[in-house]
Amino acid sequence: MIKPFPWQIKQWDHLQSAYAQNRLPHALLLAGPAGIGLQQFSFSFAAALLCIESRGDGHACGICKSCHLLQAGTHPDLLSIQPEETGKQIKVDMVRELVGFIQNKSQFGNYKLAIIDPAEAMNRSAANGLLKTLEEPPADSVLILLTEKSALLPITIRSRCQKIDFPVSNQKDSLDWLQGRLGADADAAQLLSLAQGAPLKAIEIQESDQLEQQLELLRDLKSLREQRCDVVKLAEKWLAWDALLVFMHLLNFFNMMSRIKLGIDSDNSSVHKHLQGILKGLDLVQLIRCYDLLLRHYNAVRGPTSLNKQGLLEDFIIYWQKLAGQNRG
């Protein structure tokens, strides 16, 4: 059987009940952060609609001809479009292909489905090319748009889709699943914290060398609060890890610290305990100023021109050290 993740049950049930009442929308906008499993959800949902041996529990059987074709990525009634490369645009000719595809009759006599991933990658003419189909969708067709940043989508697109949010709220489901997946030895709570609640991102962190780096970064932030350090040497170490990644992790940490400070985020993971120690004595305004500085540097490093990354890292370290020193006990 092909099922959604345990933390997606609410959204799944919502769509199933719409389906049962013959009220399935022709266009869905699935919105949630990276690592929450939007692709897997849309795949499970497409499989359920296309399965020819469905047993009435709402899930695809996983073994019929339709399910096999789907798993092989060759189902004639499903088309998925993505940018040619990550970060690139979805262009109008890809959308034209999709529009043509969705107008044709279903080969299996069921639904026709098309997935756009991520929807915010569509450039303006691609988005315009989709409007007519969103306004007058063919019978038994469903368009599924996936997005991490729904605010970037044109309002003309958003207003023609039923939006389904996938927030990172149900910690218990995610944590149980993650623990089961990683085994009893893994610190699932710590990983989920570092992934800001997105379970698939937590797995990515565990499988890369990011975990050790992030923990060491936390230790560095803390020791900067306690004692002076060699700024150049520390910046060199961070630069060797990759400046963009370091700024991204730091942004995550300062975002989490601001949320802890506001009382809207708390869990018992070791990461949160570390962060509580680091932010001790600082106020929200100071944390937000740090965040702003990091965001500027992050965008600068990400930008097209090459600049002095070491200098930007040193700049943050000096800023943080000064701030931390002011509040040092």
Closest C-alpha to 93, from 117, 120, 123, 73: 123
Q: 60 - beta bridge partners?
A: 2
Q: Judged by CB under 5 A, which stretch of 45-53, 129-137, 211-219, 238-246 contacts Zn ion?
A: 45-53
Separation of alpha carbons 301 and 242, rounded Å = 10
> Which residue in this structure is represented by tokens 């038994």?
140
- Interacting span for Zn ion (CB under 5 A) from 44-52, 133-141, 147-155, 281-289: 44-52
Least distance CB 15 / Zn ion (angstroms): 17
Nearer to Zn ion, 6 or 62 (CB): 62
Cβ-based neighbours of 39, under 8 Å, separated by 6 or more: 117, 146
For residue 213, the minimal CB distance to Zn ion (Å) is: 42
What backbone phi and psi angles, to 5 degrees, belong to 52? -100, 0
Considering the rule CB under 5 A, would residue 1 count as an interface residue with Zn ion? Answer: no
Q: Provide the residue type at 245 as one letter.
A: L
Q: Of the two residues 2 and 243, which places its CB atom closer to Zn ion in the complex?
A: 2
Tell me the per-residue interface mask from 49 to 78 with Zn ion, x by CB under 5 A, - otherwise: --x-x------xx--x--x-----------
Token digits of residue 322? 């000064």
- Which DSSP category does 121 fall into? G
**Shortest Cβ 41–Zn ion spacing (Å):** 17
Residue closer to Zn ion by CB (options 38, 51) is 51
Shortest distance, position 77 Cβ to Zn ion, whole Å: 13
Instruction: Return left, alpha or beta for 58; rule: phi > 0 is left, psi -120 to 50 is alpha, else beta.
Output: left
Q: How far is the CB of 102 from Zn ion (least distance, A)?
A: 22
Total number of residues binding Zn ion (CB under 5 A)?
6
Residue number with CB closer to Zn ion (64 or 288): 64
Which run of H or of E encompasses 286? helix 284-302
Binding site for Zn ion (CB under 5 A): 51, 53, 60-61, 64, 67
